Amino acid sequence: MQKLEVVRMGLFLMIVCAVAALALAFTATATQPIIDENRERELQEGLAEALPGASDFELVEEWDGGSMYEGYGDDGTVGYVVSIERSGYAGPITVLVGIDMSGAVAAPIKILEHTETPGLGSNIELDWFREQFEDKTREDALAVNDDLDGLAGATVSAQAVAGAVADALGRWSTMMAGVATGQEIADMDDGVYRGSGRGYGGNIVVEVEIVDGRLVRVDVLEHAETPSIGGPAIERVPPEMVEEQATEVEAVAGATATTWGVIEAVENALFALGVEDADFDLSEIPDGTYEGEAMGYAGAIRVKVEVEDGELVGIRIVDSYEVHEYIADVYRLIPRKMLEEQRIDVDAYSGATETTMAIIEAVKLSLLQSDEMAEAPVNDVDFSSVPDGVYRGRSEGYGGEITVEVEFAGGELESIRVLDHKETPDLADPAISAVTEDILERQSIVVDAQSGATETSEAIMRAIEDAARRAIAGEEPGFEEVDLSVIPDGSYRGSAEGYRGEVVVEVEFSGGRLIRVEIVEHEETPEIAGPAIDAVTDQIVEDQEIEVDAYSGATATSVAIMEAVMEAVRAALDEVP
């Protein structure tokens, strides 16, 4: 009887456990969608907090322990948010790091999840701790209790967060270089190549070797990492790359920045394999100025290269779509390095490999096509055939576009005015003065160039030639004097050709004054033309004159605005009785 009672109780307990298990399973099934929905909402809120200005996010990459989202605003990509999971003291910590297009942490980091000890490790959520990561970049050291303020009694938690931020910046840098997902080692040519990347203590220089489509060797030649911290990464990462035949390997704990420095250096070296070597000798290139173009990360990059006596004497970026702030250093340092070393194949700039290689390719293409791309010679023009009037012409100088305004009367060139240029003042100003005086005195476009400013001198001559030929071709003289006080009240429209397309303006007159100039349509590059549009339209209204100073760096846009306003004014004058 007693035995039967035990069996009965056992069956009862079994049934209770089964019912409880079923109830828990049912509850979990019923509540899981709500849990998932809450997690997704928290993620989206966290993404928006980490990257202000972005309203939509798209998952672009996932890996074990992290993911990357691209953030979009009204004008396109605002930046990226990297979600990184690192081991803290009590468990995993998930950190959201927003990174803008300059490569800087865009806002205080967001701690999405953690199980750290309340009052100690949980202080990673404090505002002052999270805020100190804002504006940090790949170039900044992130050592807790050294570069960053730590947390008393929670060093492990603070270091985990700092490591997550360093990891996020490293992954952003590699992604922006356009290498990690775009290069296949098996497709690369055999050879030994070098590259550099930014580590914790400075640049890391590596040498890699490819044999039969395999990565057979990665040697770290130079570094300034702390032996006790970065040393393990220097030792472990290269052989792991060879073993896995991949550049992206797991970061060494406590040495994230060093790991990413090695990865970036190797990828820079491998990426350089994709650039075709140019078969030319600088000493054989004729003196002259040449142009070339290649595709960068965001679009085409156009360069102007000047050769004199078999040496590179000038390299400038004259046009590009790479408008983000972090690219500015690339444009400055890579050409300088080419000039200093007198060679084209220089090391890629850390974090901007694709842009660097585009500059290299563009320079090579310019020199390979030097016979076809030299500046056009200056041709004289018979002034007696030029109609009376004021005309404008443009030509490319050493520093950028030069715009001139010339006046013809009675078959002679009466005046020359340089409206806008970007030449070096100390060299260009004397040349501008001397060349324009010489042209007026001789009544000939072809005069001697000024020593030390040959390209500027010839650009002025070509700009005057351009203006004269426009006049002969029947183009209307520009910016004639107009009495705006006689124009009837109302709104009028005009258009003119800008740098990338038609610019349409609407002007409004009231009480004999021009009270509004508005750009209603244009195709200019917003980042470049935007300031010119605001400055020129405001200046026209303020001065009550159509002809104002062109905005530096956007001459074509500025002139187009003035020409469009002039066309609108002519339309208004047609209504004057």
Question: Residue 553 has what pLDDT?
Answer: 59
What does the block give as tokens for 44? 């989206």
Burial of 10 (0-12, 13-18, 19+ CB in 10 A): exposed
pTM over 0.85: no
The closest alpha carbon to 420, from 445, 442, 395, belongs to 395
C-alpha distances out from residue 140 to 29, 114, 147, Å: 46, 25, 9
For residue 477, the model assigns a pLDDT of: 47
Class for domain 484-573, per CATH?
alpha beta
What is the residue type of 68? M
The Cα–Cα gap between 396 and 268 comes to 34
Classified by CATH at the fold level, domain 383-472 comes out as Sufe protein. Chain: A (3.90.1010)
CATH topology of domain 282-373: Sufe protein. Chain: A (3.90.1010)
Q: Which long-range contacts (CB under 8 A, 24 or more apart) does 442-447 make?
A: 443/383, 443/412, 443/413, 444/380, 445/378, 445/379, 445/380, 445/381, 446/378, 446/379, 446/380
- CA torsion sign for 225, 226, 231, 237 is negative
Q: How many CB atoms lie within 10 A of CB 219?
A: 12
Q: Which CATH class is domain 185-274?
A: alpha beta
Q: Do domains 282-373 and 383-472 have the same CATH topology?
A: yes
Q: Are 405 and 414 in contact (CB under 8 A)?
A: no
Count CA atoms closer than 13 A to 571's CA, side-chain side: 17
Structure tokens at 229: 């911290």
Q: How far apart, in Å, are the Cα atoms of 325 and each of 81, 201, 214, 328, 334?
A: 18, 23, 36, 6, 15
Phi, psi (rounded to 5 degrees) for 357: -65, -30
- How far is the CA of 455 from the CAs of 196, 301, 306, 427, in angstroms? 36, 21, 9, 11
Residue 337 DSSP class? H
- Cα distance between residue 486 and residue 490, in whole Å: 12
Q: Per-residue confidence of the chain (577 residues) as pLDDT tens digits?
A: 566 666 667 676 787 777 777 766 666 566 666 666 777 888 888 899 999 988 888 888 887 778 999 888 887 788 899 998 888 888 899 999 999 887 889 999 999 899 998 888 899 999 999 999 998 887 677 778 777 888 888 888 888 898 888 888 877 776 665 433 345 677 677 777 777 776 766 677 788 888 888 888 888 888 777 787 778 888 888 888 888 887 777 777 666 667 777 777 777 666 554 334 444 567 777 777 777 766 665 556 778 888 888 888 888 877 665 445 556 667 777 888 888 888 777 766 655 666 777 777 777 777 765 544 344 456 678 888 888 877 888 887 777 778 888 888 888 988 888 877 777 777 778 888 899 999 999 898 888 877 667 778 888 888 888 888 878 876 544 555 677 888 888 899 988 877 667 889 999 988 889 899 999 888 877 766 777 888 889 988 998 888 887 776 566 678 788 888 888 888 887 766 6
Q: What backbone phi and psi angles, to 5 degrees, belong to 136?
A: -70, 150
In the chain, domain spans = 45-176, 185-274, 282-373, 383-472, 484-573
